[in-house]
Structure 1
Amino acid sequence: MEKRKSYQELLKEYAMTQNQNEAQAMEWYVDFFLNGLLQQKREEKLWIDIDRALDMKDKEAFMKLSKELTNLIGQ
């Protein structure tokens, strides 16, 4: 014969599932947020390096960094 779960057991399972879902959502949010920060910092560094290449009239570095920035922004 099949054992039926009590209301309390069902409620406990539901709460555990909700907690797991909330933890997963928080993990995704944190991952998204940190990746955004990393991309922003990388973009800022590329702009600084591009400015430096322009100041030094280093066409090769400018072209390389500009391409890298374009690829980063295009993601």
Structure 2
Amino acid sequence: MDKYYSYAEFMKAVGKNQTKSEAEKLLNDIYLDLFLNHVHREQRKNSLLSLIDESLDQKDKQSFMLYTSELMNLEEEQKVNFI
């Protein structure tokens, strides 16, 4: 995961006399990578939310701060990736 694909790179790869199936394969790889990144992010987010709830229940300020910080970083990364 965490591969970087740009439109220009995709068009360059497609323009190198590749067959349609090779271009489709590249596009499918891009979509698969995006999907897996999304699933991984959502799983981590749900895990962090559970850990935050647990730390609140236990009144564990240190864990709460750690998990909320990680959640904020995860959400910030998501914003940056969509810009």
Query: For this pair of structures, how many residues does the alignment match?
Result: 61
User: How far has the Cα of 1:30 moved from its partner?
Assistant: 0.6
User: How far has the Cα of 1:35 moved from its partner?
Assistant: 0.7
1:41 equivalenced with 2:51 (yes/no): no
Partner of 1:68: 70
TM-score when normalising by structure 2: 0.71
Provide the rounded CA distance (Å) in 1 between the counterparts of 2:65 and 2:56.
Answer: 10
1:57 equivalenced with 2:69 (yes/no): no
Provide the rounded CA distance (Å) in 1 between the counterparts of 2:28 and 2:20.
Answer: 12
Cα offsets for 1:3-22 (capped at 9, x unmatched):
xxxxxxxxxxx7x6111000
SS in 2 for 1:57: coil
* Structure 2: unaligned runs, 5 residues or longer: 1-16, 78-83
Provide the rounded CA distance (Å) in 2 between the counterparts of 1:48 and 1:64.
Answer: 13
% identical aligned pairs: 36
Provide the rounded CA distance (Å) in 2 between the counterparts of 1:74 and 1:48.
Answer: 19
Provide the rounded CA distance (Å) in 1 between the counterparts of 2:69 and 2:30.
Answer: 30
